[in-house]
Amino acid sequence: MNNIHSPEEIKSILRQSNLVVLKQLGQHFLADEKVLKNIIEAADLNKNDAVIEIGPGLGTLTHELALKCRKVIAIEKDKKMVELLRKNLERFKNVEIIEGDILERVPVSLKEAGTLNSLNSYKVVANIPYYITSPIIKLFLESSVKPELMVLLVQKEVAERICACPGKMSVLALSVQIYSQPELINLVSKNSFWPAPKVDSAILKISNIKTSAEVRKSLGFKKASEKDLFRIIKIGFSSKRKKLANNLSSGLNLRKEEISKIFEKLGINENSRAQELSLKKWGDLTNFISMLN
């Protein structure tokens, strides 16, 4: 891996190209060879892979991906950085740099535009801008053209929240675990970047990504849809101070006694709080409630 840059090199590349660090775009460039190696390993790449990278920046990861995969599509919002990237990665014929905002380039529109034309599957591998971590993950997991795998550098605290177990569940954890199996691969020090972010990071691997039909099947849904599931989860978490039963009762307009009966049938403790329920139990609740209507 000869393309990794030290903080001094990053500074000098930026200076030479007349670039300034745009904090509002979450620019923290990777400056640690070991982390780069760990990301590549976690992505389990092969020569047939097509990869989408979000926020390639100076192209450190892009360069490595280009050597390992069939095709790399990198989407970068910073216009000036795009110019530099195109110049620096010119020799790689398998790299396509798209200037734009990832949130406006949903995978479906990439497919329609022919960018993902012959791809049956793709992976997402990126050191992403942290200010849009949840929207990025949501965008790909809820898309009709889902990736096969995602390996992302994210804030450590966010990775831990996403990988949480019952007791510490959140809407974010559930919205990832509904579709996939998230796993925290490595912790990454904030000093592995330049400029260093305020907090430490982690490599997050999201695998076993399910289609909507597979999600419904795995939760035993008959009438219910993912939309119903998300609705019940949102209602369940609506007031943090209240017990789950109270949130459901007010949000669903059901009497407390009815909620108690449902809980008893499904083996849910009446004093439960939303963060204590497993995905399976949220599925059971959704299934049951969808039958009432």
Of 71-79, 200-208, 221-229, 241-249: span binding ligand SAH (CB under 6 A) = 71-79
Q: Under a CB-based contact definition with an 8 Å cutoff, are residues 51 and 45 in contact?
A: yes
Q: What is the torsional sign of CA 80, 104, 102, 43?
A: negative
Question: How far apart are CB 1 and ligand SAH at their closest, in Å?
Answer: 13
Answer for which of 21, 25, 67, 106 binds ligand SAH (CB under 6 A) is 25
Question: Please, which of residues 97-126 interact with ligand SAH by CB under 6 A?
Answer: 101-103
Interaction mask 185-204, ligand SAH, x per CB under 6 A:
--------------------
- Please give the single-letter amino acid code of residue 65: L
Helix/strand/coil for 49: coil
Verify binding: residue 28, ligand SAH, rule CB under 6 A: yes
Of 55-63, 139-147, 165-173, 230-238: span binding ligand SAH (CB under 6 A) = 55-63
Verify binding: residue 81, ligand SAH, rule CB under 6 A: yes
Verify binding: residue 232, ligand SAH, rule CB under 6 A: no
Verify binding: residue 8, ligand SAH, rule CB under 6 A: no
Q: Which residue is nearest to ligand SAH (CB)?
A: 55
Return the DSSP state at 130. G
Q: Under a CB-based contact definition with an 8 Å cutoff, are residues 186 and 236 in contact?
A: no
- Considering only the C-alpha atoms of the chain, give the largest distance between any 2 of them, rounded to a whole number of Å: 70
Count the residues of the shown chain that bind ligand SAH, applying the rule CB under 6 A.
24
Both tokens assigned to 7? 């903080």
- Burial class for 51, CB neighbours closer than 10 Å (0-12, 13-18, 19+): buried
Answer for which of 7, 26, 166, 195 binds ligand SAH (CB under 6 A) is 26
Calpha distance 202→173 (Å, rounded)? 16
Both tokens assigned to 75? 């989407």
Verify binding: residue 283, ligand SAH, rule CB under 6 A: no
Verify binding: residue 156, ligand SAH, rule CB under 6 A: no
Verify binding: residue 27, ligand SAH, rule CB under 6 A: yes
Verify binding: residue 30, ligand SAH, rule CB under 6 A: yes
Which CB sits closer to ligand SAH, 36 or 174? 36
Verify binding: residue 133, ligand SAH, rule CB under 6 A: no
Calpha distance 92→89 (Å, rounded)? 6
Question: How far apart are CB 99 and ligand SAH at their closest, in Å?
Answer: 9
Helix boundaries (H) for the chain:
7-16, 33-43, 60-68, 79-88, 107-112, 133-141, 156-162, 171-177, 212-218, 226-236, 244-252, 256-266, 279-292
Question: How far apart are CB 26 and ligand SAH at their closest, in Å?
Answer: 5
- Residues in contact with ligand SAH by the rule CB under 6 A: 25-30, 54-58, 60-61, 75-78, 81, 101-103, 127, 129, 132
